[in-house]
Amino acid sequence: MPNTFEGTDFITIRDKTREELEIVMDKARQMEQYRNVGTDSARGHLMGTLFFEPSTRTRISFQAAMKRLGGDTVGFPSPEGSSVQKGETLADTLRTVSQYVDILVLRHPSEGSAKLAAELLDIPVMNGGDGSANHPTQTLLDLYTIRKELGKIDGKTITLAGDLRYSRTTRSLARALTRFDVELILNSPEQLKMKEDLLVELEEKGLSPKETNDLESSTAEADLIYATRIQKERFPDISEYKKVAHAYEIDKDLLEKNGEPLLLHPLPRVNEINTDVDDMDNTVFFNQAGNGVPVRMALISLLLDLPGR
Amino acid sequence: MTPDKQKMKITRIENGTVIDHINPGSALKVFGILGLDEDEESSITIAIRVNSGKMSEKDLLKIEDKFLTPKESAMIALISPRATINIIRSFEVDEKHPVELPEKLTGIFDCDNPNCITNQDREPVEPQFEVAEKEELSVRCLYCDNLMDEGQVTHQLIQES
């Protein structure tokens, strides 16, 4: 089968079919064998990692993925020290770095920045998070984790909890879940409800989520909870953040009383998940973060059409 | 009043444009987004909520010596998708066509999400939208997915004109 990913970009889940999402997940499963020992399929390839916002998991797992594939990475972990500090535009930075690398991952605070990068550059661009709009590679690893832990995605009831307004991870994941046969529950405080445009889009795709702020019932009904941090940095007004900063907490007692659903979180967590859940079998958020490596190895392999497909 | 007498209220123009079948009550918005004002040298006729065979009521705008650009035509389509453009030359209708809402709207108005890449200083990118809903107008930014409704779009078009 021809590799339709070759030379393309990975910017948003919006233009991805279920089949395409499954191709990446299948490829990630193949990559598990190289996750710890590595391979040399990307030897000689260089990936640019341009992170204009802080990142631990996305940046390091992208770097680990490229290195496990036998390739290498160059880039910066924050704009400090780059020419952006001298007033260079994002476009000029992108056009310059693309001269040095074969593939690029971009994280930037402006929504739509990754799409602009894809338009400007001839090399494949992967979106490592653009403002509060998209985080499509996080979604790939989220879907991969659900499939790995529960055997399948279809037929599951999934609760997205926390900040559904500014969270790009839940925004991308909700979009992806429209490609599957799931029940979706949205649990958030009133101020952090999912944006109307996405709710409309979900409805159009036939996914009618149930909105609630009752954590007990949305835990009891769910096969898995996807919890998110209330993101201080996304609030236009800090006083609004303070009103909801401690809006919810998932702890061992809540999970045990409500059927112990699988608990995922894109991390970092602050106070929305109590550490007393960490030794429970159903809390998989560190494994989830680990799955970022085979998933990103898979994506890089597909976009660069590396040998061994 | 007889129909003939009603017609006489709107004077003919020699050369220019008649924008017909504007949504009732929207003529002043069209007037605004075309950047027209009371200081125009051209003769302008505005008719609001006149009887129409096609719609029960309509607005109409006649502008002497003015011919619309494609961008102006797209702007009118945004707020009045059933409007028709009549180009008048020597008192005759030379061309007549409905306004057309392009699939993509590029560089006509800005995204109202301040964090959208199209609003960042000096980046080489024009705002671009697709029409998400035609009847009750809403447009989606092709960069940040932000939805804007007719009120938000019209407000901006009038502000900028």
User: What number is the ipTM of this complex?
Assistant: 0.92
**More reliable by pLDDT, A308 or B64:** B64
pLDDT score of A309 more than 80: no
What pLDDT score does A244 carry?
Answer: 85
User: One of A59, A68, A107, A156 is an active-site residue; which one?
Assistant: A107
User: One of A18, A29, A57, A252 is an active-site residue; which one?
Assistant: A57
Query: According to the CATH classification, is domain B3-98 in 3.40.50.2300?
Result: no
Find the DSSP H helices in B19-149. 27-33, 70-79
What pLDDT score does A108 carry?
Answer: 97
What does pTM read for this prediction?
Answer: 0.91
CATH tag for B104-160 (out of 2.30.30.20, 1.10.4190.10, 3.90.870.10, 3.40.50.300): 2.30.30.20
**Region A32-59 average pLDDT:** 96
Do A111 and B147 make contact, defined as CB atoms within 8 angstroms? no
Residue pair A309/A150 in contact (Cβ under 8 Å)? The answer is no
What pLDDT score does B3 carry?
Answer: 52
Find the DSSP H helices in A80-135. 90-97, 113-120
Residue A27 falls in the annotated catalytic set: no
At B41-86, the pLDDT tens digits run 889 999 999 988 766 899 999 999 999 999 999 999 998 989 999 9
* Phi then psi dihedrals of residue A277, to 5 deg: -90, -10
Residue A59 falls in the annotated catalytic set: no
Residue A108 falls in the annotated catalytic set: no
> Does residue B153 come out as left (phi exceeding 0), alpha (psi in the -120 to 50 range) or beta?
alpha
List the domains of chain A with CATH numbers.
13-134+290-304 (3.40.50.1370), 136-289 (3.40.50.1370)
**Region A20-33 average pLDDT:** 98
Dist CA A208 CA A183 (whole Å): 8
Name the CA radius of gyration of chain B, rounded. 17
Tell me the domain boundaries of chain B.
3-98, 104-160
CB-neighbour burial class of residue A195 (10 A; exposed 0-12, middle 13-18, buried 19+): middle
Reply yes or no: is the peptide bond before residue B81 cis, omega within 30 of 0. no
Assign A245 a pLDDT band (cuts: 50, 70, 90): confident
Nearest chain A residue to B128, by CA: A112
At A127-177, the pLDDT tens digits run 999 999 999 999 999 999 999 999 999 999 999 999 999 899 999 999 999
Which DSSP state fits B38? T
What pLDDT score does B98 carry?
Answer: 95
Dist CA B61 CA B50 (whole Å): 11
